[in-house]
Structure 1
Amino acid sequence: MAYIEEVKNAEVTLIFGPFAVAEKVPGVTAFQHTPEHQVQRRGASNFGGRGPVAITSDYQGESGSITIEGIEGDRMLAAILSGEDPAQFVVEDPRRRFPIYIISNSYDDDGVTPLVGHYVHYCKFENQPRPVGPDARSYNFQGLWSKVFHGKKVVYEVFDGAATPVTALNLSQTAFQDPEDQTVALAVLRQTQNTKSVKVLKKGTDYTETESTITLTQGLAENERALVIYVV
């Protein structure tokens, strides 16, 4: 099933390296992704060996695109996609570019009431966007998996460390727990500040969770921060 968002009150936020930064992309006119899509790897000039690590030549993963109108959003996305992975970026098996985590939320006519929240995990984008109009371009991506939440929205929150390491990350909103896998956090990223070191934490090994708190196995020091993605 393909999910397509083209409503007036919608937004797309990208979380990317090298510092686990989140940016809302301006000028997005459409966002779509297809879960369990028959993803085919392409030539070296496109995804090739730069696609998500777990996607081989034939993989049931994610395929999608973001359409942007206007130069502001186009420049932002081009800048994000130009980054390359340094050796310090700690993920399962990084390739040339940083993985990108996508959040998309659409709202009712009041601009507040959430209609649908989307999250796509560990994405890589194609090198070149595709022109789709006089001032619009479409950026294709591949990802590992996604989740869709009707009547909910996907949010993120940043936590700073301290001289006394911070282990309890108290969420400002009560998180929704996915009944399918009992998961609260969609992703927890740990960053060492003033470096390009970001680690993707694993539930059970690196943290435990409730609807109100993410508890880290190892606390955040003064030079560290954490970014948590969850649903409300």
Structure 2
Amino acid sequence: MSVEKFKALHEQDKPFVLGNVWDAHTAKAAEELGFQGLGSSSHAIANILGYEDGQNISVDEILFVVERIVKAVNIPVSVDFEAGYSSDPEEVAAHVKQLVEVGVVGINLEDGVVKDGKRGMEDPQVLARKIKAIKAVTNIFINARADTYTTKHPDALEESIKRAQIYTEAGADGIFLPAIEKEEDIKKVIQEIKLPLNVFATPNISDYKTLTTLGVKRISHGAKLYEKIFKTTKELLGDIQKEQAFGKLYQ
């Protein structure tokens, strides 16, 4: 699947909903249900391999899982690549080139960093340098993620626009602002930036029709599906252990 076809999904009249998956099985299910494109959830993949979220997994492990996802479907696959698993732009670019070699057409690359379990933000030039280094070796779709809203920045709107403009100039293809929810904020960002905006599905965000009217181009849900499934799994396991019975598995 080509980068051009994936990019075209961001140019439709209505936003496309990315199916966030974590293995070949979930990828196949999403394709069968009609999703136009998939995004791997770094959080979910880390968890299923026994890691906490936040760049604790190795790039080789990511490549193994992602390659299985790509080979399982015939629709474009983007990878949540966190902050690139390195502070060195050239090393990040080398990692991304490996993703391209297994058939990945897009990545999310963020300016947030997790330290001691708490998410913060780096100087925007750090991500800008990574974007430039990646674009020097491959034309993969880069969805630049600004963690202005997830970290509750005091001037989240203005800081988001500032960072989006920096990432645009560096060569990004899309902007991702998880946790942006207010319609007036979304509208302002879209007015000020040139790239397609990706928002995250939250309980408080506007409905699909409204997001379409505002001009949003992509909607994702990250690890939320995985978390819901895991919660149900844990509840069922608890019932089995407590009741020493298996009937709820067949309800």
What TM-score results when the alignment is normalised by the length of structure 1? 0.28
What TM-score results when the alignment is normalised by the length of structure 2? 0.27
Structure number with greater Rg is 2
Structure with higher strand content: 1
